[in-house]
Amino acid sequence: MRVDREVIDGSTSGIRSNVEEVRNFKTILKNLIPENTLKLIPRSYDVVGDIAIINLPKELLSYGEYVGKAILAVSKNVKAVYAAGMTVGEFRVRELTHIAGERRTATTHKEYGIKIYVDISNTYYNPSLSEERRRVANKVVDGESVLDLFTGVGPFTLHIACTKKAYIIANDLNHHATQCLRRSLELNRKALKGVVDIVNGDALEVLNSIRDNSFDKAVLNLPHKSTNYLDETYRTVKEGGTIYTYLIATDKVEALNTLKTAVKSKPKVGEVVRVLDYAPRKYVFRLELIKN
């Protein structure tokens, strides 16, 4: 969930005033932070479960406590606030600095009523992708088998398993992430329709251990590197099966060119959809590849 602003009622001493004041956390900061600096603080932040995460430039960390407390003041459900830096390393984890509230990084986030256990200190999780996960889950049909090769804390897998009678292999190299998924499967056990096998391995090794034509669907959500794994994944997908892969490009044409250059297999390309902003003029695209 991304919060742009909050509505606070203007109650005084328990008596609700007639006028409802609408303000965001930056209004609170107006008297505390110089105007030029305030401009550099983003107006929105992510909320994962009961933890808020704001992208705060390093040079503004000295104002972190003010920013964190202002967010706590306007968001009743937020209990901890972290400033986030770059997403780093193989596990795609954000660099975090605690700025206010509880010193806790584990929480349970809800997407479409599905409980997702996340530890933001050692796993990747992006709440902005919830609709995208639902769209992909809606493409899976009861009885199908699915490979979620870079499952992270397993949000794609959980959407599929909670809505379809599918068999899913969910793999990630980060054992903190697969531990989170294990816990989420437990939290959602009453809602589960599908069956999930969790694997904690390197994607290439896992692909090498899978026979040709095994899966109806595969999801490859590692946008900056997914093309390295497409040929091997193509081999493991059944004829007529689909790979949903994500990659970074400036537009659809560049996305298709990147695919053509990187991949030897000749899949039929279906839908190409822009799903997320990545950097200035760079976006994450989902490409649908169908095996001939």
Ligand X SMILES: C[S@@+](CC[C@H](N)C(=O)[O-])C[C@H]1O[C@@H](n2cnc3c(N)ncnc32)[C@H](O)[C@@H]1O
User: Binding residues for ligand X, per CB under 6 A?
Assistant: 90-92, 124-126, 129, 150-152, 155-156, 171-174, 177, 202-203, 221-222
In angstroms, rounded to a whole number, what is the distance separating the alpha carbons of residues 161 and 25?
37
In angstroms, rounded to a whole number, what is the distance separating the alpha carbons of residues 66 and 39?
15
Would you say 33 or 137 has its CB closer to ligand X?
137
| Least separation in angstroms between CB 154 and ligand X | 7
Would you say 57 or 89 has its CB closer to ligand X?
89
- Give the residues across from 289 on adjacent strands: 243, 269
- In the bound state, the residue with its beta carbon closest to ligand X is 152
In angstroms, rounded to a whole number, what is the distance separating the alpha carbons of residues 168 and 219?
10
| Least separation in angstroms between CB 211 and ligand X | 19
First to last CA, the chain: 38
Would you say 66 or 283 has its CB closer to ligand X?
283
**Chain centroid to CA 211:** 29
Would you say 29 or 243 has its CB closer to ligand X?
243
In angstroms, rounded to a whole number, what is the distance separating the alpha carbons of residues 216 and 290?
10
Would you say 26 or 286 has its CB closer to ligand X?
286
**Listed residue (107, 89, 106, 105) closest to 97, CA to CA:** 105
Q: Which two tokens stand for residue 156?
A: 């794609």
| Least separation in angstroms between CB 143 and ligand X | 23
| Least separation in angstroms between CB 117 and ligand X | 12
| Least separation in angstroms between CB 93 and ligand X | 8
